[in-house]
Amino acid sequence: MDIFVAKLNADTTADQLKELFAQYGSVLSAKLIMDRETGMSKCYGFVEMEDDSEGSNAIEQLNDTNFMGNFIVVKRSEPKATERRSFDRRPGGGGGGGGNRRFEGNRRFDRNDRNFNRDRDQDRGGDRRRYNRDDRGGDYNRY
């Protein structure tokens, strides 16, 4: 069983943590988390106990007790975020997509829609005349 221990004294060592939990059963490992930049303790760590019932007993007995001048927090360790069940918040996955869409109000317009400009103008409350230059470079055609 993995156990999370927080609010430790900054001077606590992994051996002292292991000794504390050894009173309640067989301890496989004890690890303090250290700051990479300063090398100092972050005042929390993890203990791995062999038997789940011994681990549960240790949690019950040690939570909110005074250890080296601090009242420590002891609880069952949660799995890392990468170990938890991963899921995509959007069904079907993905996202992004089509850059040719415009959103105005609650309606979606697509530039490839032949009524795009007419619908857009009606939504604005008027019938504005639109002109589009012909692709061949000729006159302006009304549409």
pLDDT digits (tens, 9 = 90+) for 82-96: 665 555 455 555 555
**C-alpha torsion angle, residues 121, 124, 125, 131 (rounded to 10):** -20
**What pLDDT shows up at residue 79?**
81
| CA-closest candidate to residue 45, choices 70, 23, 14 | 14
**What pLDDT shows up at residue 119?**
52
**What pLDDT shows up at residue 84?**
56
> How large is the average pLDDT for residues 6-31?
96
Q: Which residues pair with 30 in a beta bridge?
A: 47
The domain ranges of the chain are 2-76
* More confidently predicted of 19 and 120: 19
> How large is the average pLDDT for residues 9-35?
95
Assign domain 2-76 to its CATH superfamily. Answer: RRM (RNA recognition motif) domain (3.30.70.330)
Per-residue pLDDT band for 13 (boundaries 50, 70, 90) equals very high
For the chain, how many helices (H) and strands (E)?
3, 10
Cα–Cα distance for residue pair 36/89, rounded to 1 Å? 33
